[in-house]
Structure 1
Amino acid sequence: MRYKSTGDLYSRISKSYQGASQTLTPPIFDWESDSDLDSDALGDDSHNTIEPSIMLTPQSVRNDGFDSYDRTSTRTGEQDQIVCAISESRSSEVIGVATVNITTGQADITRILNNDKYQRLVELFWRLPAEPQSFLVLKSVPGKGNKSLLVSCLQVECPNTTVVPYARRHWNEAEGLSMVNRFALRDDVKAIRACLDSNFYASCAFSAVMKFVLNELNIAFYRNSVRVRYIQPAETMGIDRSTITSLELLQNIRPATSKTSTLFGVLNSTRTPPGRRLLRSTLLQPSTDKKQINERLDAVEQLSTHEELLSELGKNLKGLPHIDIEQVASWIAQTIPQSRAPLEDGLAIFEGHHQIVLPSHEELYNAERDLTYILMLKEYLGGIRKLHDTLRSAECTSTLCDRVRRQCSPDTLRPIEDIIMNNIEKDALYSKSPIDIRNNRLWAINAAADSILEQACKQFRDQVDGLNAYLETLNVTFGAHLPGGAELCLDNDRHYYLRFQWTDVEREIARGSAAAGIQTLSETQRLRQCSIAGIAVVNGARKKKYYHCRTLELLQKSRAIQLQADIVTMQSDKAVARLKQKLLKHAGLLLDLSDAIAMMDMLCAFTQLSTTQNYVRPDISDTLVLKGARHPTMEIRKSNFVSNNVCSGNPGARFHIVTGGNMSGKSTYIKMIALIQILAQMGCFVPAQYAAVPICDRLFTRLSTDDKPESDLGTFGVEMREMSHILRQSTKDSMVIIDELGRGTSPQDGMAIALAMAEKLVDVGPQVFFAAHFTKLARVLNSSKQNSVINLHVEGQSVVLMDGETRQINLPHTIASGPVKNEDYGIDLARRFFAPRLVRNAEKITQFLREKDSQKKSGPITQVLKQNKLVRALPELLKQAHDSSMDDSALISYLKRLQVEFTIRMNKIAENDENAEEASGGEKAAYRLERPILEKPDDEELEAWKKRFDEEEKRVMRTNAPYTSNKRPIPDREGERTRKRNKTDDLDDVDDWTIRTWKAWPSMSRSTVDN
């Protein structure tokens, strides 16, 4: 039917709406029913044909989802809809993985070498912002009854995700490449195609996942509107699921209410959803690119030295609306299979009866959401301009800050801003107030080009003016009886209501109830319908210190205003659709802006933590050295946390065994090292006074002792499975953290298994920190793997109190060299819980076993082994001195000290002195010989060393000179030097011998020294 004018068309649309609304009388005694109509009345159709005798008001959704940003969640996008396709070779050696995040409009493609039984695949799933909703796998040949190993792994690791067998025809390499050409951003197509060349399985996976999204989920994307990325797994540190759980990176093992009880909680002061998403991704896959790490450290260092800049950037980021710009880009990229029909298309005449196709609830909600997206995007761009101005005025010189500044420049933003400004009113702003949100939506679109929209806006304005006039009339009446008037508010269901201060109306409501004789009713019933200042109100309810209610006339006016708002919304939706088409070609720019904001947000979070907790910048080097290191989560919860040192500078000794009593802090110490390693490779400062950190390719932990009944594995089975994975996958560039290996079996078997696995790790050469109660482990390892193990212990002492029986255990939680001194710490701890008689019996048994063991150590074979150990340690120390940067005087002093220590130790062993270990410092002395402090000693220290050397040399010559010459055969030339030193106290000969030995070291072979 043709209409005489657009005004006539608008009149018919408005009349149909109003005619449909005249028969509606809301239940006046039920507060909820007025705002929440029966959703079943809407039906499942996209449009509802309504006759004049029927009224339908679309129900709105209470939460638009824009302000649901929660920092406590371990997943950054719990509502993200992710689909994943997995394609593997027949031998399962190569796996292609493609994921599509429909919520953010991004697709990731990667290729995995499956040499660890899908372990890297599981790690990839854990790094996603949300658990995938579907796994697509190749549909098996009919008749095969057994599940594949891949399907079994997916069902065990991700039990809440559906595994969908997808037909073979969808897994096509050529179609995967065609999908890249069709959907990837134009600037990315060539790079993605280059990565997928000869990458058959990754291309097949991308083909399958895109077909599933298009055909099964009915989600369509505009051409060249999806960000497709090819991920290189080799550029990040590998962290498996067990490590994520054991180190409590995302979630506590035990229930905890504090947000700072996990490493993610400590780091997360981000203010934007993309920043939080990037922080989580970076935490689970720290970089192994030294250049990238240093760029982040440079940015954090610059921000930490400019407090005003950091504060201003924080305000800029906080001022951005809580909108996920990646979701906006996805919204722009997605097409609507069945576009919403304009209102004039739904108006028709059938057999003389007027009918109108009203928009459904979902259509109205989507139209309002689209308008809100546009307003939020407009404000977001304004916030980015402020961020750019802040960076420009601060003259940031770091690479990352400068990159963010250039990405947020006005020239970059101008294409998008021009499109928005040409279609959106200049004064239209985003607001969080319900009334302001609706008004801004209604006046957002320039109505000059649409007469229906223009007239609907005019009607809406007139009706709102009438509503305000009605409110003034009510307040005149209320003012005569109440201390304060009524306030007009709009709820989330877009209905107006009156709000009073409860103290203002409490007495008036009680008086009205007494006059009506309804005092016997409950308070809720009396408040629903009452009289205030002689005006009848309905749907009343007390909300804390306020009283909410409505009048019948207010209900009618609110309904009429809402109907006009619906017309404006649907007419504005056409303009929004055109606006989306114009923004489509700039979808890639929006994603680049999101990346820039996310990076700046994460860097500000790093800086915030580093400045408030006194972190330092780590040096990325080849050795691990930490001075005054602290546990990043425990130091926040405990103000008196004890710091410790870590040193692993010797390339030949990378296996560290940490012993100590129960509750002494062994586990905390080794966990601290792993967390600092992660922080450093993320590009964040670390909790220490000084830090030098190497780059690790993978981080492994064996910490928890839980069994897994679902896998038919006990504690020992879980230990063996995890250690098997570590032994297969670790390299010389890995870090391994092990706590109490072998606890799930007998002590003898546990010691044997721990020793065998430790030897294997020593051969591979990763950085290992092994906390154990096996005090003999380091001694046995050093006998088979010379100078390859460093023994540490956590200090602790047991003090006998005045009564002679009670012992107090002091645990300072500090790390020292050598084995633990008090091997009876278990018995000391047991005194607190058991009777003295039982403890004394345990002491006797311990003493008997110790005496039996000491008899084995006093033989000649043990002496030879001890001497060989010292001799083997000497070449490494000479090489270390040769490579050092000490001047001549410091070098001479150091070599004197080394010679004296070496001679004393050899003579003590030759004497077979039972107290040799204690007299010369015990294992501490051996540790000092293996790991000397390369620094120039002062004069007093040199005199002390000289005096000690002279006394020991003279004592040995007097008491055991023949024994020494017989038991310690040496070459003739060295014997001459020794005899010469015995005849004179002049140290010049010592210096000559030492310096000549040091200079000759580069030409000496280890075998010569050993012989």
Structure 2
Amino acid sequence: MCESYFGDKSSCVEHANTLNLTSSSSVRGLNSTCVGKTPLSSGRSGCRSHTPLMGYSVTSSSAVSAHTVASVIVAVVEGRGLARGEVGMASIDLKNPEMILSQFADNTTYAKVITKLKILTPLEIIMSNTACDAGNTTKLFSLITEHFKNVTFTTVQRKYFNETKGLEYIEQLCASEFSTIFMEVQSKYYCLAAAAALLKYVEFIQNAVYAPKSLKVHFQGSEKTAMIDSSSAQNLELVLNNRDSRTGHTLLGVLNYTKTPGGSRRLRSNILEPLVDAETINTRLDCVQELLQDEELFFGLQAVISKFLDTEQLLSVLVQIPKQDTVKTAESKITNLIYLKHTLELVEPLKAALRGCTTQLLKAYYNSLEDTRFGMTLGKMTTVIEDDPRYTKGCLSMRTQKCYAVKPHINEFLDIARRTYTEIVDDIAGMITQLAAKYSLPMKTSFSSARGFFIQMNADGSTLPNGQLPSEFTKITKIKNTYSFTSADLMKMNERCQESLREIYHMTYLIVCKLLNEIYEHIHCLYKLSDIVSMLDMLLSFAHACTLSDYGCPEFTDTLAVRQGWHPILEKIAMEKPVSNNTYLTEGNNFVIITGPNMSGKSTYLKQIALCQIMAQIGSYVPAEYCSFRIAEQIFTRIGMDDDIETNASTFMKEMKEITYIIQNANDKSLIIIDELGRGTSAEEGIGICHAACEHLLNLKAFTLFATHFLELCHIDVLYPNVENYHFEVQHVRSSAGNKEKIAYTYRLSKGYTEEKNYGLKAAEVSSLPSSIILDAKEITNHITKQILD
């Protein structure tokens, strides 16, 4: 295969070596965008800095960080001619053997493509060379490079985007239980073409192929989830805080009490793409309710789930077959077989924790765990793998587990090699004991993966003769009173130890590969287990979040009704419950105009509604005493007035782009949040634009909340009966001297529009602006107002 695609084998190796060393270059007119060259590409040099992710790193089972290293590669291809705008995508996570295919029609803004890519957070994006050629770049390529400046772009020759080859790959690699994918995608030529290029490229960079019938492949249609564009996700701070990306002050941070990387990934994906099927959402809510009501179930499941490793990454490594057998690949396979045994041994405890559950989904998971293939797979492993080996912390302990992973008497030469290894390790310990006695020093045997066996000693300078170690010791390091060092004889013994290990790993690897070939036929049950663990982890996380605050269970009707709801992120930041407010929208009153002074709580309230809607649609309880939601197919926000410096867009132009996008894409099932539209231009023009935008949105049945400082808009309710006016109350408080009046914010929402005048001046009084300037501002404002009235 290497020959047919890359020329002779020697050139293939050469390319693999230079893959990490090619210099960066840019396509003309794209600033510093990285576009990489590979042997699959058409000849452009580029920036590549890949480290193939064949290994396996264990993540702590304590609360999982939301910020994980990107490992997703995405291939994107667009139709040409009359098919322009039809986009096919294929993505695969190098840590998760699941290929996701998508195909959809997009408009000229390519908002769906950008949103999808933002959700995937790719490490690398692959596109056809015909879309990226300098002087002939497509709009899609330009927009993607604009939005993903820190992502590596790689061009691949158009011929590799071959839909026929893509279908062949899927037929060859897709596990039989997912074979319904053939019916779904056989006429979706663009996602098949993307799949062909993606799989060929992954094979190249990983220097490995996926085992036949081992890959999970599924088609992800946009109709199953709500659309939240990337700008709205940023405005609402769903997964990233706008001020400090290191903080957990996001919706993900509020809900993330997951114990596994898979659970954390599922939670993030659900937040960015909430469900639109009420039945599925209610099934999740029933599970959360049972977890909250049954303390034994909650803590029992949490205890078991926390012991699982990253099952998705484990699967990814197991189903890849390396093209070259090295010591590193052998060690990796042995390690992962131990992890797999550890994972399968948790199936029974997980099943025991789920026994007696009453909700539909948890019962279904229990029944899935009854699958005899779990026992068969573990049974096959126990005939070869020792009973004791399992995942343990500590490099020496794990190394010992790998050495003795295979049972004795299966391979006579392996048994001899292990005895030799044991004797060498004993000799090392004996030699260090002799050295300690010889020099009367408190030496002990230590081990690290980098140094192997070495000597360590706690001693101060007075313990050592002349304050120095004897001359036969080398590579001496000292941290406080701890010395680390070795000797020439110890280094030789370490070399013998390594040689013995190589022999052990090689023979163990051959046995492990034979065992894995027998396990591949049962691979589907492992995918099922991975799915169950990540879903249970997310549901437990929802339940955990409820125990920390008084969240309520949402209902789904034709009405958006929230009684005493509050902002979930603000609660986390303030460490106390914020002021709560009510919300009520129906098809007859679907447009709410909100007024109030600056800092009265308008923006916070608007974000709160959107966040509660998202929480409800992912199956979480919601921060409210009572809440009912109408399923939103799209959630749009227009919040904030900061200049977008990166694209050199003014405040006004940014506003116009965002409101245009909403008007073009909103439908009757949308939730629309608009905050202070028209502030980037004059008052007259701002009022005109807001009025026209409102009239357009009023023709839809979408639920719209529109915050504004233009009080003239409030009178639109005379023309349209579906408009309601609300405002945030403030109180006027006189200072103790009695000569100065200040605004006290209540953060309470009340019916009607605000009667506050010149509240910008009153907000300025709260600031440190000199009183003389404020007095002048008041006089000038009064003068201008009189002129307008006259």
TM-score tier, shorter chain, comes to 0.7 to 0.9
Q: Is the 8 A contact 2:236 2:607 kept in 1?
A: yes
Q: How does 1:244-259 map to 2 (within 5 A)?
A: 244-255=233-244, 257-259=246-248
**Cα shift at 1:161:** 3.6
Q: How does 1:441-840 map to 2 (within 5 A)?
A: 441-474=402-435, 485-493=442-450, 495-500=452-457, 502=458, 505-509=459-463, 511-514=464-467, 530-531=469-470, 537-543=473-479, 546-779=482-715, 781-785=716-720, 787-832=721-766, 833-840=768-775
Q: 2:139 is matched with which residue?
A: 149
Q: Whole-Å Cα distance in 2 between the matches of residues 89 and 735 of structure 1? A: 34
- Indicate the residue corresponding to 1:957 in structure 2: none
* Post-superposition CA distance 1:317-361 (Å, at most 9, x none): 2222x3x222232223222223x2xxxxxxxxxxxxxxxxxxxxx
Q: 1:243: Cα distance to partner?
A: 1.0
Which is higher, the Rg of structure 1 or of structure 2? 1
Q: Is residue 2:39 matched to residue 1:105?
A: no
Cα distance change of structure 1 residues 828 and 733 upon mapping to structure 2, 3 Å threshold: same
Instruction: Compare the two structures and name the one with the higher helix fraction.
Output: 1
Deviation at 1:147, TM superposition (A): 1.8
The secondary structure found in structure 1 opposite 2:409 is helix
**How many Å apart are 1:188 and its aligned residue?**
1.8
Cα shift readout 1:485-523 (whole Å, capped 9, x = no counterpart)? 4442211225112333x4xx11544x5225xxxxxxxxx
Structure 2 gap ranges (5+): 1-15, 19-52
Is the CA contact (8 Å cut-off) linking 2:64 and 2:257 kept in structure 1?
A: no
TM-aligned CA deviation for residue 545 of structure 1: 6.1
Q: How far apart, CA to CA, are the structure 2 residues paired with 1:552 and 1:710?
A: 58
Q: Structure 2: how far apart are the matches of 1:107 and 1:141?
A: 24
AA matched with 1:776: E
Distance 2:536 2:682 in 1: 53
The answer on whether the counterparts of 2:256 and 2:264 sit within 8 Å (CA) in structure 1 is yes
Aligned to 1:369: 332
Cα separation, partners in 2 of 1:668 and 1:433, compared to 1, 3 Å: same
Q: Could you say if the C-alpha distance between residues 469 and 174 of structure 1 is closer, same or farther in structure 2, counting changes exceeding 3 Å?
A: closer
Mapped partners of 2:629, 2:453: distance in 1: 62
Q: Is the 8 A contact 2:181 2:218 kept in 1?
A: yes
Question: SS of the counterpart of 1:548?
Answer: strand
- Counterpart-to-counterpart distance in 2, 1:257 and 1:138: 37
Q: Match for residue 127 of structure 1?
A: 119
What secondary structure does 2:88 align onto? strand
User: Could you tell me how far apart the structure 2 residues matched to 1:771 and 1:410 are?
Assistant: 54
Paired position in structure 1 for 2:341: 378
Residue 362 of structure 2 is aligned to residue 401 of structure 1: yes
Q: Give the Cα separation in 2 of the matches to 1:600 and 1:148.
A: 43
Asked if 1 retains the 8 angstrom alpha-carbon contact of 2:226 and 2:633, the reply is: yes
Amino acid at match of 2:344: L
Partners of 1:196 and 1:847 in 2: CA distance: 68
- 3-state SS in 2 of match to 1:66: coil
Amino acid at match of 1:369: S
Amino acid at match of 2:405: A
Residue 276 of structure 2 aligns with which residue?
A: 288
The one-character-per-residue Cα deviations of 1:745-777 (angstroms, maximum 9, x if unpaired) are 111111111111111111123111122211221
Structure 1 432/216 Cα, relative in aligned 2: closer, same or farther at 3 Å? closer
| Secondary structure at 1:811 match in 2 | strand
Residue by residue, what CA displacement relative to the aligned partner does 1:261-317 show, whole Å, maximum 9, x if unpaired? 111112111111111111111111010011110011000010011223212222112
CA contact (8 A) 2:564 2:580 kept: yes
Q: In 2, are the aligned partners of 1:74 and 1:251 still within 8 Å (CA)?
A: no
| Paired-residue identity, % | 27
Q: Distance in 2 between matches of 1:799 and 1:158?
A: 50
Equivalent residue for 2:319?
A: 333
State the 1:553 CA deviation.
4.0
Report the Cα distance in structure 2 between the residues aligned to 1:274 and 1:542, rounded to whole angstroms. Answer: 41
Task: State the distance in 2 between where 1:580 and 1:607 align.
Answer: 37
- Normalised by the size of structure 2, how large is the TM-score? 0.87
Q: How does 1:98-497 map to 2 (within 5 A)?
A: 98-115=90-107, 117-128=109-120, 130-137=121-128, 139=130, 145-189=135-179, 191-214=180-203, 218-255=207-244, 257-259=246-248, 261-320=249-308, 322=309, 324-338=310-324, 340=325, 363-392=326-355, 395-409=356-370, 411-474=372-435, 485-493=442-450, 495-497=452-454
SS in 2 for 1:711: coil
Structure 2 CA distance for aligned equivalents of residues 562 and 72 of structure 1? 35
Q: Deviations over 1:351-373 (max 9, x none)?
A: xxxxxxxxxxxx22222121111
Deviation for aligned residue 1:474: 5.0
In structure 2, what residue type is equivalent to 1:676?
A: C
Paired with 2:608 and 2:574, the residues of 1 have a C-alpha distance of 14
- Shift in alpha-carbon separation, 1:583–1:152, aligned structure 2, 3 A: same
CA contact (8 A) 1:385 1:409 kept: no
CA shift digits 1:773-817 (9 cap, x unpaired): 1122111x12332x2221111111222224343223211211111
**Alignment size in residue pairs:** 738
**RMSD value over aligned CA atoms?**
2.8
The 3 A distance-change label for structure 1 pair 802 and 112 is same
CA distance in 2, matches of 1:238, 1:141: 28
Please say if residues 642 and 813 of structure 1, whose CA atoms lie closer than 8 Å, have aligned partners that are also in contact: no
Contact in 2 for aligned 1:404/1:597 (Cα 8 Å): no
Following the alignment from structure 1 to structure 2, what is the Cα–Cα distance between the partners of residues 422 and 290?
47
List per-residue Cα deviations over 1:837-886 (Å, max 9, x = no partner). Answer: 5444544555566678889xxxxxxxxxxxxxxxxxxxxxxxxxxxxxxx
| Contact 2:64-2:261 within 8 A present in 1 as well | no
1:132 CA drift (Å): 4.1
Shift of residue 403, structure 1, vs aligned partner: 2.2
- 2:584 counterpart letter in structure 1: S
- Report deviation, 1:237: 0.7
Q: Distance in 2 between matches of 1:544 and 1:586?
A: 53
Contact 1:489 1:497 in 2 (8 A): yes
* Aligned amino acid, residue 117 of structure 2: F
**Bigger mean CA offset, 841-850 vs 736-745:** 841-850
* Pairwise CA distance, 1:836: 4.4
Instruction: Give 1:704 shift.
Output: 2.8
What is the deviation of 1:447?
4.1
Offset at 1:138? Answer: 6.4
In the alignment, is the contact (CA less than 8 A) between 1:89 and 1:95 conserved in 2?
no
Inter-partner Cα distance in structure 1 for 2:73 and 2:174:
17
Distance 1:585 1:199 in 2: 28
Q: Is the 8 A contact 1:797 1:822 kept in 2?
A: no
Cα offset, 1:697, TM superposition: 0.3
Separation (CA, whole Å) in 1 of partners of 2:159 and 2:257: 47
**Distance change >3 Å, CA 306–CA 125, structure 1 → 2:** same
Query: Residues 552 and 289 (structure 1 numbering): CA distance in 2 closer, same or farther, change over 3 Å?
Result: same
1:599 offset after TM fit, Å? 0.4
Give matches, 1:921-960, under 5 Å. Answer: none
Whether the 8 Å CA contact 1:676–1:687 is kept in 2: the answer is yes
In structure 1, stretches of 5+ residues that fail to align are 1-42, 46-60, 341-362, 515-525, 856-1011
Q: Tell me the CA shift for residue 475 of structure 1.
A: 5.5
SS at match of 1:86: strand
Letter in 1 for 2:748: T
